[in-house]
Structures are given as structure tokens and as C-alpha cells.
Amino acid sequence: MSDQPLKLYNTLNRQKEIFTPLSPPYVGMYVCGPTVYNNVHLGNVRTFLTFDTLFRYLTHIGYKVRYVRNITDVGHLVGDGDEGEDKIGRMAKLEKVEPMEIVQRYTNDFHQVTATFNLLPPSIEPTATGHLIEQIEAVQKLIAEGLAYESNGSVYFDIIKYNEGGHNYGKLSGRVLDDLLNETRELDGQAEKRNPLDFAIWKNASPEHIMQWNSPWGKGFPGWHLECTCMSTKYLGKQFDIHGGGMDLKFPHHECEIAQGTGLTGVDPVRYWMHSNMLTVNGQKMSKSLGNSFLPHELFTGSHPLLDQAFSPMTVRFFMLQSQYRSTLDFSNDALKAAQKGYKRLVNGYRVLKLQEFMEEEDVAIDEKKKADIENSVRGFYEAMNDDLNTAVAIAQLFNLVKYANMLYLNQLKSAALGRETFELLKEKFVLFFEDVLGLQEEKTAGDAVLGGMLSLYREYKAAQEYEKVDEIRLYFKNQGLVIRDMKHRIDWAYEE
Ligand code: AMP
Ligand code: ZN
């Protein structure tokens, strides 16, 4: 549909690049999943939504995507560094339960949240604890390559050795090793390291550290960065197409993944690095530790103190899609209210087009201008998505199409005036873009049959001039966020905009 190829912004080269997979039509994509020690907040949802949209779009344009998104259930330490408690182990201690109970509880929560927002499940969802053997083998290999060393039962990746081998630790984040060295403070445990920037790929566990396993270096646990290297390359190969995650993971997490992968196999593991920008609240990153996070259920119920009403999952999904994934997105009541209006307008257009059928009429002339505008908007949708997934512009194209949906609905435009081909293009593409690419859904509490029945009653009461009953039926719709559209040529219901 579009003359332009798909371009994606590659963090590695700091530019938009034409996306050419290693072995088309297959695409391998890895996304860092959640650390399951607490409830996912809306910031996390934004990142997963970005890659859900990419997964959907790649599939829509014909690629066969293997999408791997892991569950981090060990090794991610409080503070994101090499020292301290495991995030999951800490919660387990606090609550006096098994670490795996914490993992199960928040994995379930994550799955429930992703389903609510209509995020597609990945093709493979590996866990770090399920890949300890792979991680121990990777540590052994890195030691054998001279790129890692053991110290007091921990094993560290040797950054200086790695760079001496002609590599560039810092190339993804644009950091310069010397600057990094100057910035690094002496922290606990660094006496074990040859260089303060070296990072743990295996950590010695003290007896009170609950999550620990036997290894050639004694009892310990794997490093956070190593798990993603092992799980991505196991399922996608030593080099694969796309690696995604939130912007905050660029350094050190993804930088370390490049170093480990390159050290293990000799090739750069990832061809396109993609980073989703942060969801912010008053300009500050939404995060649990800053105390400014919103949980999905707080939105659905409107119970968060900063919200003055409830918002539905699709309103939130639409709100996030309205900005391109590389821009920051600020979360506020007003922005959500505007998104709610926009979403309702879009879903009404969707419903109209889904139900509308082409009607042949011989004496209707083709409206060339409208026909061309519709075709341009469909093309414009693809062009926007091909321009580094610019969902903001893509949605603007859909709004242009909603205009025609409304004209058809109000009988101001006859489908015959568009010609069968353009009408079918409008209908088919709009529905596909809405459902498959943007992953939006209708939200209504009653089924079509019930609503249809209520409309019949409405007609009967109206004909019998029983206006109290008519009002009752209007109220029934209103309570569900719907309105009755009583038009000259037909009576129907729609979402209240
Ligand atoms: P975590 O469970 O902390 O490892 O985070 C899971 C994913 O959510 C990572 O890709 C993070 O980069 C991402 N993330 C965390 N906070 C935000 C935020 N405020 N906005 C967007 N993404 C975020
Ligand atoms: Zn990761």
C-alpha cells in the first residue's frame, strides 16, 4: 500500500534505518520483560504497548515474527546494580513467603494487565530461573575467552579486556569509557573487581540471600544482564533482528548485553535496538520508587487521588498510541479526558464502517475528490507506520476516514459515490487498522442483541408516545456510556462522545 519501506529508529546508529530482516519473512524480536516483584504500573505498560504495536504491525505487513519477551524472576537487584538484595528475594522476606510465590503472583498480575490492554502474548515467554544452565555455561565460556574472571565466588565481565579486543563498550548509549571510569564512585564490593565498571555475570550469594544455586564458583545467582543475553540468543540465534525495551534500560543493561553477546559468539547480537520513551507524571518518570506510579486498576476505578474520574483500558491504550513511542508522554487527567473523547469518536467510526454495506445505485456519480482523499488517508496510515511507527500521524489519518464514516452514517454520502472498490478499501482497512494494528476494541457492557432489543422497545414506546418509557430507555443507554441516535432515516445507538 505504501511506496515507502518500513524504517525504524536504531538506537545503535542514532538514525532511522530501512528495516531489512536477516531472513525474511521471519523476524526475531526480543523485549525485556518485567521483573515480577510488584504490580506493573502504567509506565511499564507503555513500553510493552510499544512493542505490541510493532509486533502487530510487522505481522500485518506480512512478516512471521517470533516475539520473545522474558520474565525476570531472579538476579535483578534493588538499585539495578551489582550489590544488594534481589528485588524478588526482598519481597519474599518481607512477606515471609517463597520467592516463587512472589514471582507467580506478579506474573499473574502482569498477564492479567496485558490481557486487559489487549497486548498480544509473545511467542515465547522464558524465565531467567528456567535458563540457569545456559547462564552458567555462558559464564564458563566468557571465562574461557578471557573476558571474565572469578573473584570471591563472583564472576565479572572484564570491560577493559573486551575493549582491548577491538570492541567498544559504550557504543549503544554513546558513553565513553574514560568518562565512565571518571564518573564511577567506589562502591561496596568493588574491591572484588579489576575495574569498577566491570559488571557481575554471576554473583556469590551470602547465606541470607534466599535465591541461590550451585555453580562451579560456589552457591550464587546469575547477573541480570546475562539472563537476557542467554534467553534471546537461545530462541532467536546469536544474531537477531530487533531488541526492545524502555529507554532507561539502554545503559547499562543493554550495553552489557551487547558486550556479553559479542564476547560469547564474536558477532554483535542485535541488528536494530529500539527504545521506548518514558511515561511521565508532571515531567518526571513514572516509577514505583518515586511514588508517582499509577496502577491500571486505579484508572479503571478512578480511585487514584490525582484522577477525578475512571478511564477504561481502551481509552488508556488509545491515549498512549496518540504519541509516537520515542517521545515522552505525560500522564494527566486532562490528557486522558481528551483521549476518551478521541477514542469514542474513533470507535463510533469503526462501528459504522464495520456494519455498513455497499449499495449499488446507478444514478449516483462518483465523487472523485472524496475517493482520492480516502485512498490517500489509507496510504498515509501505512506511511506513518513505516516512518518509525508514528502512531500519532497514523491515528490522524484514521480521523480523516471517520469523517467519511459519519457522512455515510448520516446519509450525506452514498456508498455508490465512492465506487465499490474505494468503499471496500475504506471499510476493510479501517477495521484492520483499528483491530489488528492498533489493537483497539469496542467496550460495551451489553451485547448487540440486547441493545438491539432495547432499540426496538424504544421505537415502540416512541410510536405509542409513552415518553416516560422512552426516557427510561435513553437512561439505560446513557448508564453504559452509550446514546441513542434518533435520525430521520434510522434509529441506532452509538458511543457517547
Ligand atoms: P522493570 O520491571 O522495572 O524491569 O520494567 C519493565 C519495563 O518497563 C522496562 O522495559 C522499563 O524500561 C519499562 N519502564 C519502566 N518505567 C517506565 C516508564 N515510566 N515509562 C515507560 N517505560 C517504563
Ligand atoms: Zn533485559
Query: Which pLDDT value is given to residue 176?
Result: 83
Mutating to test ligand 1, I would choose from 31, 35, 44 the residue with most ligand atoms within 8 A of its C-beta, which is 44
Residues in the chain predicted with pLDDT less than 50, given as ranges, are: 188
Residue whose CA lies nearest to ligand 1 atom number 12: 246
Ligand 1 atom nearest to CA at 47: 22
Are 263 and 206 part of one and the same domain? yes
- Ligand 1 close to Cβ of residue 278 (< 6 A): yes
Are 226 and 311 part of one and the same domain? no
Are 103 and 182 part of one and the same domain? yes
Are 263 and 373 part of one and the same domain? no
| Beta strand pairing call for 284-285 and 329-330 | unpaired
Domain interval for residue 165: 7-276
If you measure from the C-alpha of residue 71 to the centroid of ligand 2, how many angstroms do you get, rounded to a whole number? Answer: 9
Place of cell 534505518: 17
User: What is the secondary structure of 445-493 as a DSSP string?
Assistant: SS-HHHHHHHHHHHHHHHHTT-HHHHHHHHHHHHTTTEEEEE-SS-EEE
Residues in the chain: 497
Are 233 and 186 part of one and the same domain? yes
Query: Which pLDDT value is given to residue 208?
Result: 87
Are 396 and 342 part of one and the same domain? yes
Confirm whether 442 is domain-assigned. no
Q: Exposed, middle or buried by CB within 10 Å (0-12, 13-18, 19+), for 135? A: buried
- Ligand 1 close to Cβ of residue 249 (< 6 A): yes
Ligand 1 atom nearest to CA at 40: 2
- Could you give the number of structural domains in the chain? 3
End-of-domain residue from the set 228, 252, 276: 276
End-of-domain residue from the set 225, 256, 276: 276
If you measure from the C-alpha of residue 251 to the centroid of ligand 1, how many angstroms do you get, rounded to a whole number? Answer: 13
Are 423 and 483 part of one and the same domain? no
Query: Which pLDDT value is given to residue 322?
Result: 97
Are 132 and 161 part of one and the same domain? yes
Q: How far is CA 465 from CA 48, 112, 350, 357, 457, in A?
A: 53, 47, 33, 32, 12
- Predicted TM-score (pTM) above 0.75: yes
Mutating to test ligand 1, I would choose from 47, 117, 250, 323 the residue with most ligand atoms within 8 A of its C-beta, which is 47
Query: Which pLDDT value is given to residue 82?
Result: 86
Sequence-distant (≥ 6) Cβ neighbours of residue 497 within 8 angstroms: 341, 344, 345, 348
Confirm whether 431 is domain-assigned. yes
Are 16 and 113 part of one and the same domain? yes
Cα 393 to Cα 238: distance, rounded to the nearest angstrom: 35
Are 264 and 357 part of one and the same domain? no
Cα 55 to Cα 28: distance, rounded to the nearest angstrom: 10
